[in-house]
Structure 1
Amino acid sequence: MREIFIERREKKLRIGIKNKGILEECIVDEESNGPSIGEIYKGRVKNIIPATNSIFVDIGLEKEGYLYYSNELKSKGIKKGDEILVEILKEPLNEKGAKLTTKVGIPSKYMVLESTESGIEFSKRFKDEVKKELILAELKEVKGGKLIIRTEAANVSIEELKHERKLLEKEYEEINRRMNYSTKLGKLYGDNLAINKILRDKVGIEPVKIIVDNKGDFDFVEDYLKEEENVKLELFDDSKRLFDYYDIEKELLKLRHNKVVLPCGGSIVIDRTEAMYVIDVNTGKNIKERSFEKTILDTNIEAAREIGKQILLRNLSGIIVIDFIDLRDKSHKSIVMKELKEALKEDGGNHKIFPFTELNLVQISRKRVGKSIYEYMEEQCPLCLGSGALLKLSYLEGLINNEITRYHNENGINDFFIEVDETYKDNIREDIVSFLNNIDGLDKEIYINYVSGIEGYRVEPLIFKNQKKNIEQYLIKIE
């Protein structure tokens, strides 16, 4: 059975997906003042640069977004000062604003309503011709929009599709109403996009168990899936964090290692650069086969399966380049490519895989969905000036909070000695109150020592008085 875990902590939403007890995917979405992919905004054209075919748009945020000055927009005579409806394609990066499109789409479970063109279209994978005819005969078009019917729509009743179409039309009308009558620039659509996408893509005809630790998210999921009979929904109310309780946190920490050993004895190594992810495949200790060609093929097959798994688990996006072991036989390349596509089939249309190059490289482009594990777990290490990575203080605080909460709930302990890598010393001391609040230590006696060479942190519960006496110089006192 597939299990979906939805954990919310203040401005951070994490979604973990397990299949038969194995963690397959993790999505992290952090609330910010900036735009997120899929959100729809009312914007105003600030500038048009014909030389670069770019249009800069004020969407009511700190940074202006930009979009491609297409022939379609040119023919419409778009000009500076025009108010337009746009969707976020890419989030802002460094000094660059968000990438936008005027092709706005509102997704639901069985269809997508797009603002361009009109009529009803079907997914390329929709093969049921009889159901197509029924949908075209029974489903009304939406004025000013085009309905694209998803493959999964073939498995539900026409009444369910009519109901969903009605909801989409209502949402679309509300967006247009706010676009036309609101005087403010800003977001018109886009709450709960991450949860919406997971429910849309991962809940199907197979049984699913969903565990949520936030009442608001629970109500949203319950309403979204009210017609589903194969879903078991639970509200998690334990004092421990959801990811910690179900050991997902431990699995995520393992992902900081860039090397993954394959069952055959080979391995893959995942490295990040400024522009892309690079994955190298190695035979390692794989000497099971007498034939060297067979050894290479078997290693590459296992690597392809594992790479698909790791892309989803680590939530890698952008450009991904895979350096497979040299394959001279074209039929072997086809086998490896088939395995790679199969390993990523759960990702739907989020990615595109390109053929082998002459150097046996395979390139993948993948749409960004939330943050990668590196973005929310790590930050640049000030000691090595970017050649290594350090756990984010905010993430470290969450791990310490897990341990303090567990000791307190199970044994009633309120005093703790914490050792933290000295790299965090200045940041912790700079705002010690926030640190204590984030680790649930404001109402407890907390002793902190900063040491070098420690793997992140260590938490020791203090039970006896002589323990405190020996470390009293490390007691945190708030004036």
Structure 2
Amino acid sequence: MTAELLVNITPSETRVAYIDGGILQEIHIERDARRGIVGNIYKGRVSRVLPGMQAAFVDIGLDKAAFLHASDIMPHTECVAGEEQKNFAVRDIAELVRQGQDLMVQVVKDPLGTKGARLTTDITLPSRYLVFMPGASHVGVSQRIESETERERLKNVVQGYCDEQGGYIIRTAAEGIGEQELASDAAFLKRLWVKVTERKKRNQNRCRLYGEVALAQRILRDFAGAGLDRIRVDSRLTFEQLLEFTSEYIPDMTGKLEHYNGKQPIFDLYDVENEIQRALDRKVELKSGGYLIIDQTEAMTTVDINTGAFVGHRNLDETIFNTNIEATQAIARQLRLRNLGGIIIIDFIDMSNEDHRRRVLHSLEQALNKDRVKTSISGFSQLGLVEMTRKRTRESIEHVLCGDCSVCKGRGTLKTVETVCYEIMREIVRVHYAYDSDRFLVYASPTVGDALKSDESHALAEVELFVGKEVKVQIEPLYTQEQFDVVMM
């Protein structure tokens, strides 16, 4: 099973597809006009303190003020044991910051919808194998490195690089890596931190102190150690930039880079374009004949599983169980592919067998183990729903590629022709009582106009009789189904 990255470059847009076993697993899109700022470090100024919300708004030079919660003004706790974390009590925001104060902050969430970016004062700088934590004195190890012997080895090696400047988190990609590479990474991160602090001293006003690298470079850094077989890039310029980047920072990836110059568009190699279109649909078909319905709202994402055309081979319990097991794999993939985050509620088909419920939950956990984004599953609730969360830092693919429908205004549904017809009739009666007129002219969309002249003509005739005036209908081809005007003549 091969794993590869496809990098597609078009003017002002970069797209990176992660293919595993010939199937699209992740898609990352970055546009110059809306480039993500997660990881960027800024010198900002507190514009407002809100004690009631335990938060402050910080001006970092963006259109919207960024949001800083009291819990994000904390020392490094990523690799502190759960019991020890309880000792880090969240203090009152008014004691931590004041209006007009200058702060060094880092973006942990891009602006999403109407919300500004979310910040932390807990600065971290990532490289291929390590994450530098300024001001910390400890070393943390990624939980994905399971071997206790390897964890201990890495910790002992990296502990020697800790000093008054800061400590480190050892990333998953560091497993099996030698001391020389780790030392090189640590030295690079310290040099970078010195540059950041120097910029802070030089600049009196708000400014950006450090910017994350572009999407293509960032993905290569984050996929270091992910077992990639090759990386194909369809732009000569970007290919050369990535060669330079990898030779300096990730030498073992340089040999995997290829410049793709085939006549067929690079995303057509694995049907990526069609997969992106399918990732925008509510309905996801399962191979068995069942399907998922995925609804994304501002508060949460819901996933509903249905057996559909799948009738099974044995009995109802087995049919339901097999559909739910298949759905766990599809759900894990869809969460990665669509980049869904926040609260996710999964409505599996009801299972009376407790063993089936346990096995479905285990299957979901196993499927989510492949996800590079942190997930947490709370298990089945009293209502039989599985509640989980997935860390959200960037917008979902739907929010990147789509906007609200100009017709339904983001509702996702339209009023029926019948509903609009009755609204028109009520409007005629309202206008009749409010103004004097001899007759009425109704402008309506083709579907509504045809209905008023045919299926609803008898109801319109009753309205004419009630108001004692003639009502004419004129079709406006450019009107949407919900659009109409009642004009007095």
TM-score tier (shorter): 0.7 to 0.9
Displacement of 1:294 after TM fit? 1.4
Aligned to 2:128, which of 109, 113, 116? Answer: 109
TM-score, normalized by length of structure 2? Answer: 0.72
Alignment partners' CA distance in 2, 1:205 and 1:347 = 12
Extract unaligned runs of 5+ from structure 2: 72-89, 414-476, 479-489
Q: Is the 8 A contact 1:28 1:372 kept in 2?
A: no
Name the CA shift for 1:346/1:48 in 2 (closer, same or farther; >3 Å): same
Identity of aligned residues (%): 34
TM-score, normalized by length of structure 1? Answer: 0.74
Q: Determine the structure 2 residue equivalent to 1:475.
A: none
Name the CA shift for 1:357/1:342 in 2 (closer, same or farther; >3 Å): same
Displacement of 1:75 after TM fit? 9.6
Q: Is the 8 A contact 1:34 1:92 kept in 2?
A: no
Q: Determine the structure 1 residue equivalent to 2:219.
A: 198
Displacement of 1:373 after TM fit? 2.7
Displacement of 1:132 after TM fit? 4.2
Alignment partners' CA distance in 1, 2:298 and 2:153 = 50
Q: Determine the structure 1 residue equivalent to 2:184.
A: 163
Name the CA shift for 1:180/1:74 in 2 (closer, same or farther; >3 Å): farther
Q: How does 1:61-76 map to 2 (within 5 A)?
A: 61-70=62-71, 71=90
Alignment partners' CA distance in 2, 1:100 and 1:28 = 22
Name the CA shift for 1:372/1:136 in 2 (closer, same or farther; >3 Å): closer
Aligned to 1:310, which of 321, 325, 334? Answer: 334
Q: Determine the structure 2 residue equivalent to 1:121.
A: 140
Give the residue type in structure 2 aligned to 1:253: Q
Q: How does 1:7-26 map to 2 (within 5 A)?
A: 7-26=8-27
Give the residue type in structure 2 aligned to 1:198: I
Q: How does 1:361-372 map to 2 (within 5 A)?
A: 361-372=385-396
Q: Determine the structure 2 residue equivalent to 1:36.
A: 37
Extract unaligned runs of 5+ from structure 1: 390-450, 453-479
- Partner SS, residue 184 of structure 2: helix
**Bigger radius of gyration:** 2
Displacement of 1:29 after TM fit? 2.1
Displacement of 1:129 after TM fit? 4.0
Alignment partners' CA distance in 2, 1:64 and 1:34 = 17
Q: Determine the structure 1 residue equivalent to 2:98.
A: 79
Q: Determine the structure 1 residue equivalent to 2:283.
A: 259
Aligned to 1:143, which of 164, 173, 195? Answer: 164
Q: Is the 8 A contact 1:210 1:231 kept in 2?
A: no
Name the CA shift for 1:59/1:231 in 2 (closer, same or farther; >3 Å): same
Aligned to 2:347, which of 315, 323, 329? Answer: 323
Name the CA shift for 1:229/1:245 in 2 (closer, same or farther; >3 Å): closer
* C-alpha distance after superposition, 1:37-67 (max 9, x if no partner): 2222111122222222111111122221121
Aligned to 2:359, which of 304, 311, 335? Answer: 335
- Partner SS, residue 306 of structure 1: helix
Q: Is the 8 A contact 2:39 2:106 kept in 1?
A: yes
Q: Is the 8 A contact 1:38 1:193 kept in 2?
A: no
Work out whether 1:293 is the aligned partner of 2:312: no
Q: How does 1:386-425 map to 2 (within 5 A)?
A: 386-388=410-412
Q: Determine the structure 2 residue equivalent to 1:185.
A: 206
Give the residue type in structure 1 aligned to 2:45: R
Give the residue type in structure 2 aligned to 1:187: R
Alignment partners' CA distance in 2, 1:191 and 1:325 = 43
Displacement of 1:130 after TM fit? 3.9
RMSD: 2.8
Select between 294-303 and 45-54 the one with higher mean Cα deviation.
Answer: 45-54
> How many residues are matched?
391
* C-alpha distance after superposition, 1:200-247 (max 9, x if no partner): 443426342111234554344324433216852122356875435664
Aligned to 1:277, which of 290, 301, 309? Answer: 301
Give the residue type in structure 1 aligned to 2:295: D
Q: Determine the structure 2 residue equivalent to 1:89.
A: 108
Name the CA shift for 1:347/1:181 in 2 (closer, same or farther; >3 Å): same
Q: Is the 8 A contact 1:106 1:114 kept in 2?
A: yes
